[in-house]
Amino acid sequence: MSAEDLRRRRTNVRANVRTVPGPCARWNDEDADFIREVLDLVGDKWSVLIIGTLADGPIRYSDLADAIPGISQRMLTLTLKHLRRTGLITRTSYPEVPPRVEYTLTELGTSLLSTVLALAAWSADHHGEIRRHQAAYDSANARQADER
């Protein structure tokens, strides 16, 4: 299945159902799965940060830890395993003393990175707007709480 198909397909499914009884369209299970798949991949706290760091070229475990403030060894190791299993990164260990291990972004990983960066860019672009909405929403809620 191709990229452009996704949007088209869901729209079609929706349209089909809508013409039958009324408004009650449902997600195609497969489409929902694709969303779950990416979220499972990049929806966690560290994956994107790691992938972004690897974008600058191969890097060692400890340098990775330094580059990503706040990550615990446990989470670093776990996330690296996860990314490796998915084929987004590769691990190369050099039999030296002291041991050296480098992590590298695969082509698959690079292709994902650019898509994810678009998301971060969206956030950067609309950050102000979002903050304004949140503030408005919160103050409206505070007023409601007062009235009670």
Interface residue list for a copy of itself (CB under 8 A): 1-7, 10-11, 14, 18, 23-27, 29, 31-32, 34-39, 41-45, 48-49, 52-53, 56, 59-60, 63, 66-69, 84-87, 108, 111-112, 115-127, 129-130, 132-134, 137-138
> Using the rule CB under 7 A, which residue among 11, 12, 16, 72 binds DNA?
72
As measured in angstroms, the least distance from the Cβ of 81 to DNA is: 7
Backbone angles phi, psi at 140, to 5 degrees: -60, -40
Specify burial of residue 79 (Cβ count, 10 A radius: 0-12, 13-18, 19+). buried
Backbone angles phi, psi at 2, to 5 degrees: -105, 170
As measured in angstroms, the least distance from the Cβ of 101 to a copy of itself is: 14
Other Cβ atoms closer than 10 A to 98: 4
Query: Two tokens at 48?
Result: 């994107």
Dihedral Cα 73, 69, 35, 4, nearest 10 deg = -130
As measured in angstroms, the least distance from the Cβ of 32 to DNA is: 12
Binding interface with DNA (CB under 7 A): 44-46, 60-63, 70-75, 77, 80-81, 91, 93, 98-101
